[in-house]
Structure 1
């Protein structure tokens, strides 16, 4: 697969998606939106995928939208953005539906749609210097990349409203306090810690991870009874998996369970 703006690899069950336009600040341009969709579609077809790690090259994680690209032709801009968001939205949706949990490794700056992208991840590890910038309000538009869906689920509706409407910028401790970031990791250990976490997740019960991701994603819009029914159905499916059966046998034998993602 030939990619213009990303690097992609799959090793030991961990799919690594790296934003790779460092000289431009890894903008969310047309190339990245298209590449990310293709990578997400590829991930969805891989039976050996067990975790996803999203990171970036260069000084920044991502500066957000490429305004120079967008403002070249005012008349063409709405159609251009619509195409980009169709690709980006498809990518975000596919990644959210995977069994494989997603880890974001963030350094430098994450602005605009990059905040939406990482807020959709199950884990966000950030360096102490990172700034998370809303950016959308500064150019008179709404959030995208699932920002209005995932951000309230991570930080609560009040915090998400403040962040977006007041066009706020959060440093790493603030993002951690509000719940956007799981861990703040020293810069020299960040990449290793993120990869270690992704590998830990890849060694877990992948089918169970997937069911849990979907349950959590629906929990805020369901009644208690609806959620209880979904939980029961999910457990019923998981009890038919080899991972669940073998893990129960291991626990009874006082052995460490070994999961194979099936």
Structure 2
């Protein structure tokens, strides 16, 4: 079996590389299961403080492996989505920020997976396409959850129903991604962001992410209460104490994610 997912650990940063370059990293069952296994370990490891997802070869992820679906559409989609949905749920719940380093193409399931990350840095020339409608199906892997939250319902429907390519600059304008960089600068920029995030208050990052996402499903009174309860929980962390001490001592805080 090919090693469809490469894992690299450097200090508090873990990088997962989708590794089916000849297939533009199309998601097959082996890759789905490998991603789930990797994220189970990462989610349980509180020393991981930033996660980077990227693709080997010419693309990030060009979608799902359509050969799996063509052989048996119903069983094929179940075999892919069962592990991938669990993997995305784990990734989404992580305190550690998740960065997608995207180049070449991000389409179908690859785009949906990308949209579930906290930060997306893309190389100039990258093409984005939700693509599902071109196959006669709806999106998966959280695409219908993330897309309208990022760009609004009107733009989300246009992207999803037309199935057209979006260039990197258009994706940036719409708010799909955070930054567009020259391809040769993308790895260093991703690394710099990962290092910055890995030195931050990881538990507070997790609480901030959840508050932001859940705010769209609460009224103001409920959100104020959720903020207050979350803030109170932060008062029991070493990082908040360090942040306060650093402020009064006029120095940069040294957070440990605890």
Q: Deviations over 1:179-235 (max 9, x none)?
A: 011000111010111111011101000000000011111011111111111100110
| Residue matched to 1:211 | 207
Equivalent residues in 2 for 1:41-52 (5 A)? 41-52=40-51
| Residue matched to 1:226 | 222
| Residue matched to 1:201 | 197
Shift of 1:32: 1.4
Contact 2:61 2:106 (8 Å CA) reproduced: yes
Residues in 1 aligned to 2:169 and 2:213: alpha-carbon distance in whole angstroms: 25
Residues in 1 aligned to 2:79 and 2:221: alpha-carbon distance in whole angstroms: 39
Residues in 2 aligned to 1:110 and 1:259: alpha-carbon distance in whole angstroms: 34
Q: Does 1:95 align with 2:91?
A: yes
Residues in 1 aligned to 2:6 and 2:109: alpha-carbon distance in whole angstroms: 19
Give 3-state SS (helix, strand or coil) of 1:257's partner: coil
Give 3-state SS (helix, strand or coil) of 2:216's partner: coil
TM-score normalised by the chain length of structure 2: 0.97
In the alignment of these two chains, the number of paired residues is 258
Q: Does 1:140 align with 2:102?
A: no
Residues in 1 aligned to 2:95 and 2:9: alpha-carbon distance in whole angstroms: 15
Q: Does 1:159 align with 2:158?
A: no
Contact 2:16 2:53 (8 Å CA) reproduced: yes
Give 3-state SS (helix, strand or coil) of 1:71's partner: helix
Residues in 1 aligned to 2:43 and 2:70: alpha-carbon distance in whole angstroms: 34
Residues in 2 aligned to 1:158 and 1:8: alpha-carbon distance in whole angstroms: 38
Please tell me the root mean square deviation across aligned C-alpha atoms, in Å: 1.2
Contact 1:3 1:35 (8 Å CA) reproduced: no
| Residue matched to 2:58 | 59
1:149 equivalent among 145, 151, 154? 145
